């Protein structure tokens, strides 16, 4: 593949990378990723890689990454590349990639015959929490994630790193509150809002049916207006003296409970059997 040597920090592609990493955009814009592990995940999932940025004396990575032959590769002085990166310990390779164009069809009408299991994020602002939720969503078989207004961009570099590659595979759709609840109602998906108290324990609710889990903002939880649009409220029983769980932890626990119930319903070998209503 052709390799072009770049010396200037004012290179157009390098400016794109700096913008993508420093001020992540939105749908339709390229995303920036750092490090060989994430780039391997991008290659493995068929994500379109528009440009590779490689520090000089790290050319060996080109063979290890198994990039498509047409990939644009820029070879830069390490100091020039590191100035564009955002991690505390910069790695010698980064890339501009084209995020997948996920739609509601991927969440509600995918190839899986399982009942949809969807996570709806209402104003989740911490990219680390979002990345963790994407990772748990993939681990426990969720169909995807919906980000309501105010939710951090899925391709925020911290979210991408926290997802450990799941961001390449888990469908993420941004939607207004009106569109989200209308789509879910039309598809027969019951929305369960999460709360710390005054709700049914999650293990007493049938999560093997088509369900969406509404996860709120880290500080304020789910607003009362949104909660009223849900079909019911659930909580995670906690014997310890804590008021609530971290948003990513709560989502992960609920996804695990749903996965266990679905395993039992489908005749799987899971050891836990969630109690039905």
Domain map of the chain by residue range? Answer: 3-98, 104-265
For the sheet with 232-235, list strands across it. 172-174, 144-147, 117-121, 211-215, 190-194, 232-235, 200-201
**The pair of three-digit structure tokens given for residue 158, joined into one six-digit string:** 């911290």
Other Cβ atoms within 10 Å of 204 Cβ, number: 12
What pLDDT is stored for residue 153 in this prediction? 95
**Which CATH number applies to 3-98?**
3.30.1330.30
Neighbour tally for 189: CB within 10 Å: 22
Task: Quote the CA–CA distance of 165 and 215 in Å, as a whole number.
Answer: 22
At 276, the pLDDT band (50, 70, 90 cuts) reads very low
Query: Mean pLDDT throughout 21-41?
Result: 87
The CA distance from 68 to 66, in Å, is 7
Task: Give residue 271's pLDDT.
Answer: 42
Mean pLDDT of 100-112: 85
Helices 247-265, 127-139: axis angle to 10 degrees equals 10
pLDDT tens digits for 149-162? 999 999 999 999 99
Is the CATH number 3.20.20.70 carried by domain 104-265?
A: no
Look at residue 268 in the predicted model and tell me its pLDDT: 59
User: What Cα–Cα distance (Å) separates residue 160 from each residue in 95, 97, 156, 273?
Assistant: 13, 12, 6, 33
């Amino acid at each position: 593949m052709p390799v072009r040597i770049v010396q200037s920090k004012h290179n157009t592609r390098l400016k794109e990378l700096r913008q993508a990493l420093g001020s992540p955009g939105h749908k339709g814009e390229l995303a920036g990723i750092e490090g060989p592990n994430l780039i391997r995940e991008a290659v493995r999932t068929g994500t379109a890689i528009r440009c590779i940025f490689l520090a000089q004396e790290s050319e060996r990575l080109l063979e290890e990454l198994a990039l498509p032959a047409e990939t644009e590769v820029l070879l830069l002085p390490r100091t020039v590349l590191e100035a564009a990166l955002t991690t505390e310990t910069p790695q010698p390779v980064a890339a501009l990639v084209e995020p997948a164009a996920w739609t509601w069809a991927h969440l509600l009408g995918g190839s899986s015959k399982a009942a949809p299991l969807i996570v709806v994020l209402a104003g989740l602002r911490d990219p680390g929490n979002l990345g963790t939720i994407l990772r748990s969503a993939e681990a426990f078989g969720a169909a995807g994630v919906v980000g309501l207004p105010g939710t951090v961009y899925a391709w925020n570099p911290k979210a991408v790193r926290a997802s450990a590659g799941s961001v390449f595979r888990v469908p993420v759709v941004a939607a207004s509150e009106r569109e989200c609840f209308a789509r879910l109602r039309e598809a027969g998906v019951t929305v369960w809002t999460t709360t710390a108290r005054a709700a049914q324990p999650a293990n007493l609710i049938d999560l093997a049916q088509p369900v969406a889990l509404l996860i709120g903002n880290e500080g304020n939880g789910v607003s009362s207006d949104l909660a009223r649009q849900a079909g019911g409220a659930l909580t995670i029983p906690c014997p310890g003296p804590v008021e609530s769980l971290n948003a990513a932890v709560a989502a992960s626990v609920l996804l695990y409970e749903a996965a266990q119930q679905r395993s039992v319903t489908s005749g799987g070998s899971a050891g836990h059997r969630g109690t039905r209503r």
